[in-house]
Amino acid sequence: MTFLEGLLWLTLNVYHEARSEPIIGQVAVAHVTLNRAAQRDLSIKNVVNQPNQFSWIKQKKSYIPEDPQAFFQCMKSVSIALNSTDFTAGSTFYHLDNIKPYWASKVTFVEQYGSHKFYR
């Protein structure tokens, strides 16, 4: 896998998971994706495409972004994540603040950024 392929998959993940979030929320989602890849020793593409990890993978019929402006904003957020310290304290999980997933009680809450709660 090339750097550009990893960049594309990371940006697609941020776009589909957090394009309506503030920049800090988008950067946090990018950090979670990077943390999972590092923890599992997988490429970004493989981490994003693991079963039951990111909801958009199951729900989307097409990965092509429908909003180019939002996609490019997500790419900027990915660039920030790649060039900054992980402020999520190693988070590898997140969810929208209005849901209560079964796994949340088994991990450590870190912080909320935008409308997502982050855990490690």
Confidence of residue 1 (pLDDT cuts 50, 70, 90): low
pTM above threshold 0.85? yes
CA-CA distances (angstroms) from residue 51 to 38, 47, 54, 120? 17, 9, 8, 19
Q: What is the mean pLDDT of the segment spanning 69-98?
A: 97
Half-sphere exposure of 112 (CA within 13 A, CB side): 8
Is the distance from CB of 14 to CB of 74 less than 8 angstroms?
yes
**pLDDT tens string 37-56:** 999 999 999 999 999 899 89
> Is residue 71 a contact partner of residue 15, using CB atoms and an 8 Å limit?
yes
Strands 93-96 and 109-113: unpaired
> In order of start, what are the domains of the chain with their CATH numbers?
3-88 (1.10.10)
- Mean pLDDT, all residues of the chain: 95
